[in-house]
Structure 1
Amino acid sequence: MKAKFFTCTNGFYIRSTICCIVLIISIFHSFCSTAQQLNPPIQNYSSIAYDAASQNWDISIDETGMIYVANNRGLLIFNGQTWKLFSLNSGAIIRSVYAYKGKIFTGSYREFGYWERNDMGGYSYHSLNPLFKDIALGDEEFWGIMAYNDSIYFRSFGALYKYDGDKIIKISNGVFTGMKVFQNKLWVAKGRDGIFFLNHADKLQFFEPSSKLTGNTIADLEVHNDQLIAGTREQIFYLDKKNDEFNLMPGKLNDVIEKSELNKILSLDHENLIIGTLKNGFLKWNRNNEGIQVFNRSNGLQNNTVLALDVFKGQLWLGLDNGIDRMDINSPIKFYTNTTGELGAVYDLIKESNKIYLASNTGVYFLDESGLRLIEGGEGHSWNLAKIGDKVISNSNSSTFEILNNKLKILDNSTGSFHTTLSPKNQILVGTYTGIGVVTDSSFYKIDNIGFPVKKMVFENENVLWAAHPYEGIYRVQFSEKLNKAVRVQDVPSLDSLKHFNSQIYSINNQIAVYSNQNWYRYNVFKDRLEVFEELRDLKGFKLLEEHDSKYWFINTQSDDLFFTNLKDQEFSLPAWRLENRLVKGYEQMTAVSDSIYYICLKDGFARVDLAALMKEQHQLFIAEPFVAGFQDANKTYSLMEKPNIPHKHAGLVTLDLGLPFSDSRNIAYRLVGNDTVSGIVENGELIFQNLDYGDYSLEIYPFGTNGKDFKT
């Protein structure tokens, strides 16, 4: 079999396309913050997941989004699909890593060199130790690497070195603990001796204002908001705009650092500074309001010792003493997660100014600055919460009750209930397990002639109501003037000859809308029957979650992806993974609290979604280009620099390793064109073809999103 793949830099023809998806994973808490603090998504990569050692000393990310980690067992590389480990021949711990112009420089014990991708898709190591020549290396480990003026500078706790591409020279002896390029100069922290900069003669010159810091070991340097930042283990300083004096950072930041032990500093953006600590995870400090948030094991990190920091396209990567974590730190989606299991699955919520009421399968709770608390007497499964005027009413498995000042008042305990709504005449109606009830100021009574369970109610007019059965059937109910009995109950027939099963009813644009058997219908009052809802015809299989101010959120009942539209000129998909696949299946619930803020109920808490930020995000998507990282048949591994010519007897199993550096597209789609033309989605970065027929083939790979569309770049 002769297989022809049209070559580019990696030996394959790649058709890159992007898709309009929105970026997501979970958890973080603020220092001195409220118990209601919501946390951005976080992804934990354990040592088992990446199959290497626990400790990760340094992280570097190249311009494509490839992740390089200095691990106890070697160089760890993440291509967005799979982790791969490349070890030194000596097996030494790699302490530092730095990606620069296609090379990945690493430092370890008495060893310095770089890795390059080879023809087979792996990485080959090139030691630069021969260039030390007459330089005597003691028991040195290289802990930091940085590019400056197209040369590579690297440091140990014994000296500072320069590699210019041809030779290595020693700049100076000393205990060097940090490096940073600031105002077109290379600045280095020299342990307890202050800060130096490299002059035009490649000599270190002491920076006099840093004499204020001498005597304290400087752990790291960073540039933030065009100012040099220096951190000791217990304090953090900034250099003033005139470069005359180092001053302590204002506010309570240093109080927190003193207890946490600073290790690394990273400028996230012009407002936010990240401080990695040895004892307390990392701190996020906002220079505008001096707010501090702390992220540690209690709210999502795997470990409290942060050894390395780097950021790429809003994704903060952390090398930890045990594992690697990634946080979408500016995500428009934030999470509240109850890790104790007390809360259970949340079915509904109501957001008020200083608290949130939560209806779950274990009871009704409220969440405020003091934390999560069960309302006394509110135990048991609660399906729904309704805000009627100043009343909050819960529909639970055993009763209907009102919540007053965080206490419970029973309205009816003869049966359970599903739903509460307000009639056009301002009467409170309750859909119960046995019919419909009415709440008055002094009593609760049942409406006559309705003897079936009512999951949801929607008013057509003052005296006509639509009622959905929890399992099958939709009914149009006409009431008496006094709303004490039903004078007509009409079983609404479907249009597709199927029974209405678990159907949903809504009011959309003042029209009765029905979602039944994955199709959308509306009630034609003149013809007195359902008809296809033309504006929603294309949303087959999409159930409505929320409508607010002519903005609609739907959910794909198969994939759990959310879909937003204004039915005019705005629409996008929110993949299920962005909500960490935590929706309560079959009972998905979304609540609008403003024009832009929505809350979504989850299996163990809830998510807060900022629509305006999501819309803005759509214009800032970064889509990486997939690539082929390896190609094997049943007998051999092929060079990626050549068109592979595969003998037919070895074509029974052809495997390609694919990479897609971390970006707003998480999946790779493929299309193999030839005698056998196949297409699909790649799972876990591995694409396998079996028993290909004799002939020529071409392969196309491209980023792919969950909405089933791909757009050429």
Structure 2
Amino acid sequence: MSLIKPYLIIIIVLLSSNLFSQEKKIGLPEIKNYSRIDYKGDTQNWEINQDKRGNLYFANNKGLFQFDGSSWRKYSLPNSGLIRSFKIDESGKIFVGGNAEFGYFKPDSKGKMKYYSLSKLINKNAIKLIDIIWKTHIHDDEIIFQSFTNAYILKKNKLKILEAPSRFQFSFKVRSRLYIQDHKKGLLEYKNGTLIPLEGTTALNNREIWGIFTLPDNKLLIETINNGLFIYDFKKLVPWDTEANEFMKKNGSLGGTAFRNNFIVLNSATNGVIICDQKGKIVQHFNKNKGLQNNTVLTSFVDNKNNIWLGLDSGIDFINENSPITYFGSSYGISTVYASVVYKNILYIATNQGLLYHSMEDLSNDNNFNLVNGTSGQAWNIQILDNQLFCASNKGALVIENGKTVNTIDTKGYVSFKSVPNKPNYMIGCNYTGFAVFEKVSNKWQYKNQLEGFYGYPYSFQVENLNLWFHLDNLIYKATLTDDMTRIKSIKTYKNLSNKDKGIGSIQQINQVIYFQTNNHFYKYSGDQDLFYEDKKISTLFKNLPKISEIKEDDNGNIWYVFKESLGALMKNKNGTYNNIITPFSNLTGNLVSNYLSINTIDPQNIFIGLTNGIAHYNPKQKNNLVIKPKAYIRSFSYPGDTLILGNGQKELENYDIPYKSNHVKFSFSSPTFENLENVEFSYQLKGFDKKWSSWSNNSIKEYTNLREGNYKMKIKVRNSYGIQSDEAFLLFTISPPWYRHPLAYFIYIILIITTIYIIRKRIKMKIRKNKYYETLEQRRLYLEKETKIRQEQYELEKEIEKLKNDKLKIKILAKDKELVNNSLQVAKKNKVLNNIINKIKDINVDTFDETTKTQFTKLNRSIVKEVNADKSWQDLEKHIKNVHYDFLKRLKEKYPTISPRELDLATYLLMNMSTKEIAEVMNISNGGVELARYRLRKKLNLNKKENLIGFLMSI
């Protein structure tokens, strides 16, 4: 360690006094490009200024552009011409000069910028051509618009003209003095309406001046476009023989601006912009290779947070000089960085392209990092062990010296190395197939052997005596080595650190003690009891922090940790306490190299952090001085029919009234915080509608639809990229109720309700009287209807009784008919028997009888014949049947006119449900004759075979 201390002292002295001063930066700050597509204007931008609220303005060939951090707005001249220059006064007026036009923008009552022309005050007969207004100044109580031919001076609303002695070039306000260059008179100072030549400046007549700056000892620095920089002490001009002058003579000068009192930003025509100190030494250089959009810088401006804005020949660029973090990236030939270290005043970085190096003495220049010969490919680590520099790469285990590989100890690919405690001559390296042992022999490190018993490699490991601890496959491995360190004697694995903390988070060394972490709880290992026990003191440090995935302690005792791809640090104080720092590293989120946390702390002001796209330099001192609380603004408030642009300098109302029909409102928010805009977040709450604040988001616009009438308070706050929140901003507005919910409307509603109740009450009384009258009539009507109904029911009842009587009579008649038919059939049978007897008597030979017998026989025969001939029961039967079934026979005859009497009789017999035998006897035909008659009757009635004849007759 004795060799390291002198180098560290040299490095710290160099860095503190020369390289890492507050203003002098190494690497590149964040550069944000805004193209013409972003602001929707022309390419060229000529002047930049900032108002009291922090909004930025840009003079563009297409007009004046305003940027509030969230949105761009364009304000045009009446002739839609270019704007070359402008200034903003205390009242918020923006005085602008353009092509043959000058005047000012002023917000109306709704915040919309309106243009008021001043060039109209000029007598066109006296001056026909105004020319381009190249410069605009606010000088004492005057506004000066300067063209090449004249200066137009506005004082107390009156305009006067100051003619050029020959021809003006440009004018410059330096502190409280105003200088104008004339082509023949040299440099002139404007005082009280007159021009006073400055001694010794006629030498500049053929040299176009683009910038004037103050220097110590009451001197001026004069910048010419092609002839470089000059020092002027108000007597003579002397070339400024400096590094900055050589640069400007080579690349052409286009003006500049003072920066942080002791520095000057100088714009070039062909090679970007430089920042130099007051001795002319270039501190920083930005050009297209370093992140600018192009190399022609027309104007530069330092905002209220010491950040630099550049108006380019094509676009606008923002340089985040306020940030405590700068970068070495692709412009320096760097890719993914896995580790870094400073050794003998040389910065080494291990990348996926090899081991790169750069001298610390000239780290601020534009030179790329160089590749250490023999290290191309993946370099995993670079470490100082035993006062030597070791590189772990896929080329093997390498020893590095003065930017060169001086020894290749082993050709296998290595990830990292660790010294073995209590064994200073041994070192363990993790390679692609496991672990190897290195031994120091004759003051030279050499490969000893590969440890047998384990295959594979973890991302990192720790060595404790003869034990190797590493984390792999969600397990903790404890590998115990043999005494001769030739092989792994035993391997034990652990799934959990304790019953309450499941899983394994990380293994790290803090204060030279190995700790095992999960869920932000830190454990030590007890070999005697073979268990893990929690260290409450260390766990308390991480108690209120997010869940940690990786931890590393730097050489100064600061503890760095990774959470959700973000970086945080517990910075150690002199008294042993820690301060938790997260906000400065928010811009690094997502750019850290997974499982390879690279932190290289040189001193408390200079820390290098490895990234996926380069290496970052962090200066904690600068962060403490410059990070301030942001401001939040409600930038616009719009609703159907109107839009209010707030914060343009107009008088704002305490409360805004909105008609109910316009209850669809829209807000836009802004914060003049231009650093890391992608990480600037807003939160809002509409009191009277939202119950709580919204989640943080990048969205700067919020709409509300169909709001009810009432009083509302829109509240907004912003959080910048460092996590610092602003104070609350708010806007009060009232939505008027619709006409039908207006207080006057409610008064009318009450009158209408009372009137309606009175009218209804009166009408009810009238209706009650009418109802009583109609009720009487109705009762009378109901009585009559009831009486009529009773009579009708009585009549219906009598008819029903009559019908029942008739039905009963018909039933009796039918019964009698049946009885008559039966009797008639009996008579027919009797007559048939008697006829048979008569026929048999005829066959008896009466000649054999005596006279007495013969007489008696003849008498008997006559008596039988008489009985047969005298019986009219059949005729009575037919007559009776026809009388009973008269209606049926009538309907049948009407429906079927062709039916014969004989068929009518058959139909009647069938209707009476007489059998075939009975019908045959009545009709005096055979059974077959009856069937034939039935068939003929079905044919007459047009019945098919499936239809029932008797059923059909009964339906007639």
Shorter-chain TM range is: 0.7 to 0.9
Distance in 2 (alpha carbons) for counterparts of 1:182 and 1:635: 46
- Residue of structure 2 aligned with 1:687, choices 697, 702, 715: 702
Aligned AA (1:463): L
Q: Can you list the C-alpha shifts for 1:173-200, whole angstroms capped at 9, x where unaligned? A: 2533333345744222224531111233
Residue in structure 2 matched with residue 309 of structure 1 by the alignment: 300
Asked if residue 522 in structure 1 is aligned to residue 515 in structure 2, the reply is: no
Kept in 2, the 8 Å contact 1:224–1:267? The answer is no
SS at match of 2:516: strand
SS at match of 1:130: helix
Aligned AA (2:312): L
Residue in structure 1 matched with residue 614 of structure 2 by the alignment: 605
- Aligned sequence identity (%): 24
Distance in 1 (alpha carbons) for counterparts of 2:63 and 2:323: 32
Distance in 2 (alpha carbons) for counterparts of 1:207 and 1:289: 24
**Worse overlay, 152-161 or 437-446:** 437-446
Residue in structure 2 matched with residue 445 of structure 1 by the alignment: 449
Kept in 1, the 8 Å contact 2:310–2:316? The answer is yes
Q: Can you list the C-alpha shifts for 1:226-260, whole angstroms capped at 9, x where unaligned? A: 532322221222222xx333322232433222211
Distance in 1 (alpha carbons) for counterparts of 2:597 and 2:71: 32
Q: CA deviation at 1:660?
A: 1.0
- Residue of structure 2 aligned with 1:338, choices 330, 334, 357: 330
SS at match of 2:245: helix
Q: Can you list the C-alpha shifts for 1:141-163, whole angstroms capped at 9, x where unaligned? A: 11111111122112111111211
Q: CA deviation at 1:279?
A: 1.9
Distance in 1 (alpha carbons) for counterparts of 2:418 and 2:564: 25
Residue in structure 2 matched with residue 510 of structure 1 by the alignment: 512
**Worse overlay, 245-254 or 107-116:** 245-254
Distance in 2 (alpha carbons) for counterparts of 1:47 and 1:685: 21
Relative to structure 1, the CA distance from residue 519 to residue 411 in structure 2 (aligned partners, 3 Å threshold; closer, same or farther) is: same
SS at match of 2:695: strand
Distance in 2 (alpha carbons) for counterparts of 1:391 and 1:139: 73
Kept in 2, the 8 Å contact 1:659–1:685? The answer is yes
SS at match of 2:200: helix
Aligned AA (1:355): I
Residue in structure 1 matched with residue 743 of structure 2 by the alignment: none
Relative to structure 1, the CA distance from residue 139 to residue 78 in structure 2 (aligned partners, 3 Å threshold; closer, same or farther) is: same
Residue in structure 1 matched with residue 167 of structure 2 by the alignment: 175
Kept in 2, the 8 Å contact 1:156–1:175? The answer is no
Q: CA deviation at 1:546?
A: 4.2
Distance in 1 (alpha carbons) for counterparts of 2:72 and 2:600: 39
Q: How does 1:543-558 map to 2 (within 5 A)?
A: 543-558=550-565
Q: How does 1:664-683 map to 2 (within 5 A)?
A: 666-677=680-691, 678-683=693-698
**Worse overlay, 599-608 or 675-684:** 675-684
Residue in structure 2 matched with residue 188 of structure 1 by the alignment: 180
Asked if residue 393 in structure 1 is aligned to residue 393 in structure 2, the reply is: no
Kept in 2, the 8 Å contact 1:511–1:522? The answer is no
Asked if residue 661 in structure 1 is aligned to residue 672 in structure 2, the reply is: yes
Relative to structure 1, the CA distance from residue 702 to residue 317 in structure 2 (aligned partners, 3 Å threshold; closer, same or farther) is: same
Residue in structure 2 matched with residue 124 of structure 1 by the alignment: 114
Q: CA deviation at 1:331?
A: 4.4
Relative to structure 1, the CA distance from residue 707 to residue 109 in structure 2 (aligned partners, 3 Å threshold; closer, same or farther) is: closer
Q: CA deviation at 1:586?
A: 5.0
Distance in 1 (alpha carbons) for counterparts of 2:69 and 2:110: 19
Q: Can you list the C-alpha shifts for 1:631-669, whole angstroms capped at 9, x where unaligned? A: 224665357545445566765x64211121136694333
Distance in 2 (alpha carbons) for counterparts of 1:669 and 1:301: 33
Q: CA deviation at 1:276?
A: 1.0
Distance in 2 (alpha carbons) for counterparts of 1:411 and 1:468: 26
Q: CA deviation at 1:488?
A: 4.4
Distance in 2 (alpha carbons) for counterparts of 1:700 and 1:327: 31
- Residue of structure 2 aligned with 1:80, choices 63, 69, 77: 69
Residue in structure 1 matched with residue 776 of structure 2 by the alignment: none
Alignment length (residue pairs): 665
Relative to structure 1, the CA distance from residue 218 to residue 349 in structure 2 (aligned partners, 3 Å threshold; closer, same or farther) is: same
Distance in 2 (alpha carbons) for counterparts of 1:439 and 1:93: 72
- Residue of structure 2 aligned with 1:614, choices 623, 626, 637: 623
Q: CA deviation at 1:293?
A: 4.2
Distance in 2 (alpha carbons) for counterparts of 1:474 and 1:691: 59
Q: Can you list the C-alpha shifts for 1:21-71, whole angstroms capped at 9, x where unaligned? A: xxxxxxxxx9xxxxx962232222111222221110111122332211001
Residue in structure 2 matched with residue 474 of structure 1 by the alignment: 476
Kept in 2, the 8 Å contact 1:219–1:263? The answer is yes
Q: How does 1:184-583 map to 2 (within 5 A)?
A: 184-191=176-183, 193-200=185-192, 202-225=193-216, 226-233=218-225, 234-240=227-233, 243-288=234-279, 290-291=281-282, 293-312=284-303, 313-329=305-321, 331-339=323-331, 343-368=334-359, 371-397=368-394, 399-404=396-401, 406-407=404-405, 409-414=407-412, 416-424=413-421, 425-426=423-424, 427-440=426-439, 441-460=445-464, 462-469=465-472, 471-492=473-494, 493-495=496-498, 500=503, 503-516=505-518, 518-523=519-524, 525=526, 528-531=531-534, 533-542=539-548, 543-558=550-565, 560-566=566-572, 568=577, 570-576=579-585, 578-579=587-588, 582-583=591-592
Distance in 1 (alpha carbons) for counterparts of 2:214 and 2:170: 12
SS at match of 2:78: coil
Distance in 1 (alpha carbons) for counterparts of 2:497 and 2:722: 29
Kept in 1, the 8 Å contact 2:245–2:280? The answer is no
Relative to structure 1, the CA distance from residue 707 to residue 94 in structure 2 (aligned partners, 3 Å threshold; closer, same or farther) is: closer
Distance in 2 (alpha carbons) for counterparts of 1:486 and 1:206: 89
Aligned AA (2:690): D
Kept in 2, the 8 Å contact 1:253–1:292? The answer is no
Higher strand share: 1
Kept in 1, the 8 Å contact 2:497–2:523? The answer is no
- Residue of structure 1 aligned with 2:42, choices 44, 47, 53: 53
- Residue of structure 2 aligned with 1:703, choices 705, 718, 732: 718
Kept in 2, the 8 Å contact 1:305–1:321? The answer is yes
Aligned AA (1:106): V
Distance in 1 (alpha carbons) for counterparts of 2:280 and 2:521: 48
Distance in 2 (alpha carbons) for counterparts of 1:154 and 1:41: 36
Task: Give unmatched runs, 5+ long, in structure 2.
Answer: 1-18, 20-24, 440-444, 647-651, 729-956
Distance in 1 (alpha carbons) for counterparts of 2:108 and 2:581: 40
Relative to structure 1, the CA distance from residue 499 to residue 378 in structure 2 (aligned partners, 3 Å threshold; closer, same or farther) is: farther
Aligned AA (1:437): A
Task: Give unmatched runs, 5+ long, in structure 1.
Answer: 1-29, 31-35
Distance in 1 (alpha carbons) for counterparts of 2:267 and 2:554: 42
Q: Can you list the C-alpha shifts for 1:479-523, whole angstroms capped at 9, x where unaligned? A: 34333344443323234777646x32211123322343x524231
Kept in 1, the 8 Å contact 2:567–2:588? The answer is no
Q: CA deviation at 1:707?
A: 6.5
**Worse overlay, 695-704 or 93-102:** 695-704
Aligned AA (1:540): P
> Normalising by structure 1, what TM-score?
0.85
Q: CA deviation at 1:321?
A: 0.3
Residue in structure 1 matched with residue 853 of structure 2 by the alignment: none
Relative contact order, higher structure (CA 8 A, sep 6+):
1
Kept in 2, the 8 Å contact 1:108–1:141? The answer is yes
Distance in 2 (alpha carbons) for counterparts of 1:585 and 1:689: 42
Kept in 2, the 8 Å contact 1:224–1:273? The answer is no
Kept in 2, the 8 Å contact 1:668–1:681? The answer is yes
Higher helix share: 2
SS at match of 1:534: helix
Distance in 1 (alpha carbons) for counterparts of 2:268 and 2:308: 15
Q: Can you list the C-alpha shifts for 1:590-617, whole angstroms capped at 9, x where unaligned? A: 21123432111122321222233333x2
Kept in 1, the 8 Å contact 2:629–2:726? The answer is no
Distance in 2 (alpha carbons) for counterparts of 1:148 and 1:392: 62
Distance in 2 (alpha carbons) for counterparts of 1:273 and 1:708: 31
